[in-house]
Structure 1
Amino acid sequence: MGPELGGAIGVIFYAANVSGCVVYLLGFSAELCDLVYGEGNYGDWSRILWALVGLLGVTVVIYIGPELYAKTAVTAFCITVIELSLTFL
């Protein structure tokens, strides 16, 4: 199979990760705008601004280093487990 196929697959996975990050940021900003401004009481620029703030937050975590990324992932996992346990108990 060789590196030729591996490079092509790597590009596809990279594009999928970038697209996934965009979708996650748009979902985050839409929910945050609903929470802050009320249901549907905001424009596209508000959503874009909050998505940009989220993107800057992701960029800061990535540039600081893998240690902070690992701590952030563990913290997010713990918060998710606590929220799910409170929801279903």
Structure 2
Amino acid sequence: MLLLVAGGGQVTARVLDRRGRESSAGMYLDDVAVWLTARGWRRGSGPVDAGDLYGEGVPQVLEHLWDGPRAANDRGDMSAVARQFAREVLRRG
């Protein structure tokens, strides 16, 4: 999750555009879940999914590190402050 935010990704599940096509812009929680599953992570006996990642609480903490007024359509976007925080956490281990 921290890598996703530090790298500029959105903390949302993959969405469909108005024509029902999958959006391919950027990286989403679904992508992180697939990657973790491929690396051998599991949630119980099944694969990791986006809901599992969102339910861990990390996105909510990062979403509160907003550096100004937040609009209703900012869902999943992270501020520069949140991205810097994620980078510092990863850097310090």
TM-score tier by shorter-chain length is 0.3 to 0.5
- RCO greater where, 1 or 2, for CA within 8 Å and sep 6 or more? 2
The normalised TM-score by structure 1 is 0.38
The normalised TM-score by structure 2 is 0.37
| The structure with more radius of gyration | 1
